[in-house]
Amino acid sequence: MSLHALTLATSGVEKQAYRNAMARLPAAVNIITTDGTAGRAGFTASAVCSVTDSPPTLLVCLNRSASVHPVFKQNQRLCVNTLTVDHETLSNLFGGKTPMEERFSAATWSTLVTGSPVLDGAVASFDCTVTQVVSVGTHDILLCEAQALRCNDNIPGLIYFDREYHHLYGKKPVNTVI
Amino acid sequence: MSLHALTLATSGVEKQAYRNAMARLPAAVNIITTDGTAGRAGFTASAVCSVTDSPPTLLVCLNRSASVHPVFKQNQRLCVNTLTVDHETLSNLFGGKTPMEERFSAATWSTLVTGSPVLDGAVASFDCTVTQVVSVGTHDILLCEAQALRCNDNIPGLIYFDREYHHLYGKKPVNTVI
C-alpha cells in the first residue's frame, strides 16, 4: 500500500451541497450481510464498487457510527447482495432501524463459503473476506476479496438516483422462445 | 487510518467469473479528468463511489498500468464528471486509445477550483484534490476531497449494466409548464 498526502486541500464544499450532488450519481442498491462470532447483521448500501480482478476485490463503505459496524469489524467477512426490482421493501427494511431478526425473516437466505447470508434471487452475490480496512473521515472502506459468487442472469437491477428507486432492465435472454 | 489484515483468505474465484458477476452490478458512467504540471488527461470509469460527507470525499479506482496513471499521480487533482445519456460517444472515446487532444476536443470544458477539466452538461461534476492513495492488487484507490461542485438537475443519467449502456430518467421538474 502506498500513501501520498496532499496537504493544501481545505474543502470549500458544504456537506449538504455534497449530498445533493451525490444524489445525482446513480448507484446500484445492495444489501451487505455478515454472520460469524459477532452475530448476524446486514445493512443497505449504495457505496459499493469493484477495485480489481487480481485478486478479485470490491469495496464497501460503512459509517463507523452505524450500529452494525462492530459486528462487521469483528466478523471480517461479508456478502454483497446486489438487489433486483423486487427488493425495494427489503432495501428499506435493511436501511432503517428494524431489528436484525425481522430484517432477515423478510427474505430467503443461503450460504456459500464464508457463512455470510446470501440473498436468494439477488442480481449477483459476492461472498467475501475483508482483507483490509481504510478509515476516511466518518467512514471505513472495507476491502473485500471474493471467495465465491452467485449470479442470476436476465433479472433487472435496482438503482437509486435522485433520491428514488429506478428499475433497470438488462439484456434479453439470447434463446428466448417466442 | 486503521488497517486490519486478515491472512486466511485464499481466493476461490476466477478472474473471468468475477468480471462476469461485476457486469451485473449497475454503475454510473463517469469521465475522470485532470490538468496540472504533468499535463491534461482523462479516462472513463464506473468504479466511483461516495465515501463520506465529512470531509466530502469520493473515491475513484484506477489501474496502475493505465497510460494516464502517471499523470493523475503527479497532478494530485481531478474532476469526476458523471455522464448523461448524450455522452455515450464521449464515454467510448475516453475509454479507448484515442489521443488526449482528440478526446478533449469532442466536448466543451470549463474549470472550477483545481483546474481539472469540468465537462459542460454533465449530470454532476466533483472537482477534487487527491488526499490519499491506497494500492490494492493492480489498482490504486484515489481518495478525492471535493473542492467545488457543479450539478445539472433534471437530466438523465447514463448507466453501464450487463456490458451495455442504459438511460436513467430521474425526477421530473417540479414546475413543468405543460
ipTM value, please give it: 0.90
Interface check for A18 against chain B (CB to CB < 8 A): the answer is yes
Predicted TM-score (pTM) of this structure: 0.91
pLDDT at B175 over 70: no
Mean pLDDT score, B131-147: 98
User: Measured between alpha carbons, how far is B30 from A43 in angstroms, rounded to an integer?
Assistant: 26
Interface check for B173 against chain A (CB to CB < 8 A): the answer is no
In this structure, are strands B77-82 and B124-136 parallel, antiparallel, or unpaired? antiparallel
Closest to B145 (Cβ–Cβ): which among A11, A19, A133? A11
User: Measured between alpha carbons, how far is B149 from B124 in angstroms, rounded to an integer?
Assistant: 7
Looking at the complex, report in whole angstroms how far the Cα of residue B134 sits from the nearest Cα belonging to chain A.
6
**Helix/strand/coil percent split, chain A, to 5:** 15, 40, 40
Closest to B18 (Cβ–Cβ): which among A139, A149, A168? A149
- What residues of chain B lie within 8 A of the CB of A124, using their CB? 21-22, 24-25
CB distance A123–B25 less than 8 Å?
yes
CB distance B3–A153 less than 8 Å?
no
Interface check for A38 against chain B (CB to CB < 8 A): the answer is no
Separation of CA A32 from chain center: 5
DSSP for A79-116?
A: EEEE-BGGGHHHHHHHTTT--HHHHHHTS-EE--SS--
Classify A76 in phi/psi space as left (phi over 0), alpha (psi -120 to 50) or beta: left
Looking at the complex, report in whole angstroms how far the Cα of residue B26 sits from the nearest Cα belonging to chain A.
5
Predicted pLDDT at B149: 97
B positions 66-105 inside 8 Å of A (CB):
73, 76, 82
CB distance A13–B166 less than 8 Å?
no
pLDDT at A177 over 80: no
User: Measured between alpha carbons, how far is A19 from A86 in angstroms, rounded to an integer?
Assistant: 26
Predicted pLDDT at A171: 67
All structural domains of chain A: 27-160 (2.30.110.10)
Give the chain B residue nearest A3 (alpha carbons): B133
CB distance A53–B18 less than 8 Å?
yes
Q: Is the Cα torsion angle B42, B64, A26, B149 positive or negative in sign? A: negative
Q: Which one of A1, A6, A8, A18 makes the best mutation probe of the B interface by having the most chain B beta carbons within 10 Å?
A: A18
The amino acid occupying position B121 is G
Q: How confident is the model at residue A154 (pLDDT cuts 50, 70, 90)?
A: confident
Task: Record the cell numbers describing residue A75, joined without a space.
Answer: 466478523
Interface check for A172 against chain B (CB to CB < 8 A): the answer is no
Closest to A113 (Cβ–Cβ): which among B12, B46, B73? B12
pLDDT digits (tens, 9 = 90+) for B56-70: 999 999 999 999 999
Q: How confident is the model at residue A11 (pLDDT cuts 50, 70, 90)?
A: low
- What residues of chain A lie within 8 A of the CB of B123, using their CB? 24-25
Q: How confident is the model at residue A12 (pLDDT cuts 50, 70, 90)?
A: confident
pLDDT digits (tens, 9 = 90+) for A108-145: 999 999 999 999 999 999 999 999 999 999 999 999 99
DSSP for B48-117?
A: EEEEEETTEEEEEEEETTSTTHHHHHHH-EEEEEE-BGGGHHHHHHHTTT--HHHHHTTS-EE--SS---
pLDDT digits (tens, 9 = 90+) for B26-61: 999 999 999 999 999 999 999 999 999 999 999 999
Looking at the complex, report in whole angstroms how far the Cα of residue A177 sits from the nearest Cα belonging to chain B.
21
CB distance A53–B3 less than 8 Å?
no
Interface A-B: count of C-beta contacts within 8 A: 260
User: Measured between alpha carbons, how far is B27 from A177 in angstroms, rounded to an integer?
Assistant: 30
B positions 120-159 inside 8 Å of A (CB):
123-124, 126, 129-141, 143, 145-149, 151, 153, 157, 159
Looking at the complex, report in whole angstroms how far the Cα of residue A162 sits from the nearest Cα belonging to chain B.
6
